[in-house]
A = this chain, B = another copy of it.
Amino acid sequence: MTRVEKTDLRREAGQRTRDGLQAAALELLAQRGQEGVTLREITDRAGANVAAVSYHFGSLKALCESAIEHALEQYLDAQMAALDSLSPTATLHEVAAAFAGPMMRAFVAGGQDLAVMRTVARVGIEPPQGWERLTAKFDKSRRDALRVLKPNVPGVDEEELIFRTRCAAGMLNWLALAPIGAELATMSAEQLERQLVPVVAGAFRGDAAGPPAARP
């Protein structure tokens, strides 16, 4: 019953082209944004012909949206996994560490992982068309963050906590896009965590008086 694996070299080659185009598009999107991406540059980088884009994706825009959606999904999954793994009694520091975790890991890993983060960050500034399809996942990620955040930041109403979450996420996105990101990408995971997590935690907590752990 040894089922012979269907090789079909043509389809394999097609898949390789598709993946190469998507990877090249992701990289270009990460470093130049949607406006700065050109068809020829993608195909040159992927070693493919310009017609391959139309053939496999329909258009340059569709290819970019596909790459963006892929990146967004990857990011949201990582973010949700990090928040879901938190215990309900997690400290603010732990919440902040989980919140910034995917970004920090991307800085350490570099390469494609970092390109994913940069692309996601760019999307946060210029939302593309296919955005709506991932709204549900996005909402869940926000609810997760609120759930673990609330007990750690008492006396601040929900609307304000949402705002702080968006501020913190925006800060991380900024770090990924700005030149400072290049510096962060050279740091060790420990250095990164030691510098970054307190700032995120502080942004969550605000400047309310009193020690952070002073709740009954």
Using CB atoms and an 8 Å cutoff, list the residues of chain A in contact with chain B. 32-33, 35-36, 92-93, 96, 124-125, 127, 160, 163-164, 166-168, 170-171, 173-175, 177-180, 195-199, 201-213
Contact = CB atoms under 8 A, between A and B. Distances in A.
Contacts of A175: 167, 170
Contacts of A170: 171, 174-175, 178, 180
A207 B102 CA distance: 20
Most buried by B among A175, A203, A205, A213: A203
Given A32-B35, A35-B36, A96 B205 contact: no
Contacts of A179: 127
Contacts of A211: 209-211
A54 to B, nearest CB: 23
B199 A203 contact: yes
Nearest to A127: B179
Given A32-B35, A36-B35, A170-B178, A199 B210 contact: no
B207 A93 contact: yes
B209 A198 contact: no
Nearest to A197: B207
A199 B204 CA distance: 7
A180 B166 contact: yes
A179 B170 CA distance: 11
A191 to B, nearest CB: 11
